[in-house]
Amino acid sequence: MTPVQQIKQHALDNYNNGWDYIVECYTDEEIQQEYLDVCDGDVTKAIALIQEVADYRNEQSEEARREIEANTDTEEEKPMTDTIADLIAELLDANWDFDHACRKERESKDAGLSYLEELYKADQQPAWDRMYAAERALEGLGIDVREAQRKLDAQRKAA
């Protein structure tokens, strides 16, 4: 077996121990240039060098896993999260319906079509009521809807 093949075999044998990136991302030439050439062709030294990177990647992965677990809802928290998600979805849906009705009203005014204006006004109030109810419910759960919208708008502008 060539030195590159030895490293690739070691990577396959240790795929789930942080060596997956060697198997998935490195060509034979890259293994040769970035590890074997740096280690003067010594396979043992190259494996040790790669192991340092694998250990670092494993630490980072474990830290990310702990962070995810710490921020994942417990069984007690899940119903509240689901309620908040449902209310936000309702708020967004009602907001879209209201905007759509307002846009159609403006179009009907521009065209001088008052009967369409009345038709879309009938859609505005139910959408407005749904938005208001969803906002109040979210605020009842301690979520400042206006502040959340300001933060979202700021993020969009920055992007």
Which tens digit of pLDDT belongs to each residue from 68-108?
A: 777 777 888 788 878 888 888 777 777 777 777 767 666 66
pLDDT at 118: 64
DSSP label at residue 40: T
The pLDDT value given to residue 40: 94
pLDDT at 6 > cutoff 90: yes
Reported for 80-86, long-range contacts at CB under 8 A and 24+ positions apart, including other chains, are 80/141, 83/141, 84/138, 84/141, 84/143
Pick from 11-15, 68-72, 102-106, 127-131: least confident: 102-106
Interacting residues of 69 by C-beta distance below 8 A, sequence separation 6+: none
Half-sphere exposure in the Cβ direction for 80 (13 Å, CA): 11
> CA-CA distance, 13 to 27, in Å (whole number)?
17
Is residue 39 predicted with pLDDT exceeding 60? yes
* Domain residue extents for the chain: 3-70, 78-158
Q: What is each CA distance from 88 to 6, 59, 92, in whole angstroms?
A: 54, 36, 6
Q: CB–CB of 101/123 below 8 Å?
A: yes
State if pTM tops 0.85: no
